[in-house]
Amino acid sequence: MLIVKLLRWIFGYFDFEIRGKFPERFLNLAVRNGLNLWNMRGEKEELHATAKIADKNTVGLFAGKTESEFIIEKEHGLPYLCRIYKSRLGLLAGLIIGVALSCWLSGFIWNIEVNVPPELNEYEIRDQLRELGFYEGVRYDSDSIDNIKRKMKLNDERISWVSINIFGTNAVVELSPKISAENDRDDNKNKKTVSNLKSTADGTITKINVHNGTAVVEIGEGVRKGQLLVSGIMEYNDGTNVMADSEGTVYAKTSRTVTLSVPKEYSKAITSDEYVYKREFSFFGISFPITLCGNPSGEYYKKESKLKPTLFGNSLPISITEEKWQRYETKKLTLSSDNAKKLLDNRLKLYEMFMLYSDQRTVISKKSKFEEKNNMYCLTVSYEVEENICEKSYIQVKE
């Protein structure tokens, strides 16, 4: 069906009206002679239909034979458009120039996306690209791209790999940092790792499980934070000593206290329905204001959006930036005691989820106290916990 519509548009068609006392005579004559008609609809002493431009004379001839009035309502398709615009040479020239300009502009880069790992800074990379002649609005070729990639790896020792992919007028820059090889250096080859296990908190020892090293504490013994629990020096029966990397767990019963607080009075930003819009048009990197107004004074939130049109998947060197400023008002509110308890309980749940509950920590008991002091609501919670209090302390020793 789509192909039929396209062919009709290319060869042209027209809507017409047959008006007379007996329009059915025209219809019978058209059917007998195989005249192709569509979109037919009949009214009193009228017949409306559509036919090909090539059949225009035939339709007029059949209308004359049936003593009917032939009226052309509207023409459609490519022949009709060519006839209308054949005297408008400027339009054709503008179309040709526009296509040529689009093809020429497609050889420029109008949008650069830089994807960098956490070890590198995007703004530094963009400055390096600009110094090497790769920026938005530059014309490029494959040789210049390869040259830029080589220079970036030579100029910046942090970069091990650079990729610049071109998609129409868009460019995507991907980088990979060099991996530190400290463990492979010659001065580290003869080093042996020796470690002790030290206490991370005050407590009373409940369980000891040592896989490597020598335990220097016993169950039931009280220890202080930073105290040695497992030594990396192992002594054998023959009196010889060996230094090792200590491994194991030492559980102790510890106590900790956490205090959470919220103010009784707080400020809240309440937005209104008052907006201020600022628009700016950018053409080839040059910006022109569309709305002649400055930044509004007072308390406003600003939200910015940019529209960049594309042609055949390529970004054009034009954009429209809109700033939406929404007014808000800061109000002081008072927090009730019940709402403060709910808020502090939620914060406490987050604390317990991330700081207390784990495979190496068990809460034995918990006591909480809610109070008001110094214009604050405070929640103080005391815990008795059994947890692994081991922390490695490394000592690098050369053999």
Helices (H), 305-336: none
Cα radius of gyration rounded to whole Å, the chain: 41
Q: How far apart are CA 343 and CA 337, in angstroms?
A: 10
Residue 13 confidence class, pLDDT cut points 50, 70, 90 = very high
Q: Quote the pLDDT of residue 261.
A: 94
Residue 203 pLDDT > 50: yes
Residue 84 pLDDT > 80: no
Residue 168 confidence class, pLDDT cut points 50, 70, 90 = confident
Q: How far apart are CA 20 and CA 70, in angstroms?
A: 9
How many other C-beta atoms are found inside a 10 Å radius of the C-beta of residue 155? 11
Residue 191 pLDDT > 80: no
Q: How far apart are CA 390 and CA 196, in angstroms?
A: 9
Query: Residue 137 has what DSSP assignment?
Result: T
In order of 107, 288, 326, the CA distances from 303 in angstroms are 33, 19, 8
Q: Give the bridge partners for 123, in sequence order.
A: none
Q: At what angle do helices 142-155 and 122-131 cross, to 10 degrees?
A: 120
Residue 40 pLDDT > 80: yes
Domains of the chain: residue spans and CATH: 2-83 (3.30.70.340), 111-177 (3.10.20.310), 189-264+335-399 (no CATH), 267-330 (no CATH)
Q: How far apart are CA 36 and CA 14, in angstroms?
A: 12
Q: Of the spans 171-175, 181-185, 205-209, which averages the highest pLDDT?
A: 205-209
Q: Give the bridge partners for 222, in sequence order.
A: 204
Secondary structure element (H or E) that encloses residue 153, with its range: helix 142-155
- Per the CB < 8 A criterion, the answer to whether 230 and 250 are in contact is yes
Residue 295 pLDDT > 60: yes
User: For the purposes of burial, counting CB atoms within 10 Å of the CB of 26, is it exposed (0-12), middle (13-18) or buried (19 or more)?
Assistant: buried
CA nearest 243: which of 197, 189, 192?
A: 192
Phi, psi of 341 (to 5 degrees): -60, -45
Q: Quote the pLDDT of residue 399.
A: 53
Which residues have CB under 8 Å from 73's CB, separation 6+?
14, 15, 16, 17, 48
SS3 state of residue 169: coil
Q: 296-317: per-residue pLDDT in tens?
A: 888 888 888 888 887 766 677 7
- Per the CB < 8 A criterion, the answer to whether 286 and 257 are in contact is no
Q: How far apart are CA 194 and CA 397, in angstroms?
A: 7
Q: How far apart are CA 56 and CA 74, in angstroms?
A: 12
Q: How does DSSP assign 43-99, residue by residue?
A: ETTEEEEEEEGGGHHHHHHHHHHTT-EEEEEEEESHHHHHHHHTT-HHHHHHHHHHH
Q: Quote the pLDDT of residue 395.
A: 79
The pTM of the whole model exceeds 0.85: no
Looking at residue 291, its amino acid is T
Q: How far apart are CA 267 and CA 334, in angstroms?
A: 9
How much of the chain, in percent, has pLDDT values that exceed 90? 25
